[in-house]
Structure 1
């Protein structure tokens, strides 16, 4: 058994996020062959990721507030506390808080053999994409 000391909270970079977003790592590879990554991510109102995709997919579990999750086909889902959303491998998507409330979720994914290729970051989400009509999850 190994008790882990959590790395400090970090503010996510503006190249990949719009608004204020903080990340707390929960689980990350400790030994060769491990690939699971879990983080608690907190978004200020209106904050969101840039468009991105994950080589092995990503699971988001909302723990507080309401998340918006959008895909390239124009779908935007509003997911509340306790809701889990899965984005399959290669699907370009974004996620963030609603305009009027904070949101926290657990972000879970498996790294590839080269962790630098696990997530592909793309352009920022436009205000038009962010403001699309939503569907309740």
Structure 2
């Protein structure tokens, strides 16, 4: 990855999987990184109410990314909630500076064939994966356009 020193990135779904890998690569390249996630614990019923990462999980992610010497903001993020998303974007800008890069990696799925999905489950998948990306983009893009 190119040198991203002085750039700031927001990564949704950044506490695990692809999101964490991308956040790590961005930090390694010198970017300041804000990561947020909504994580269900292993074996949890993912249809339950919101689960936010515990303080030790937030610190684990923050420390791993900060080891690359850049500014890091790690916080809970439920992309299904516009108020939470807007607050996360504002807090990220305060912590790491205005976003130059946005990675919408938050997503969810169900561990069953699509023919077994209820309408409520399908709505949750679309709200997280598609509408969540829209919400975060809507919160961050105006500042990106303004600085372009």
TM-score by length of 1: 0.29
- Structure with the larger helix share: 2
- Structure with the larger strand share: 1
TM-score by length of 2: 0.28
Structure number with greater CO (CA < 8 Å, separation at least 6) is: 1
| Higher Rg of the two aligned structures | 2
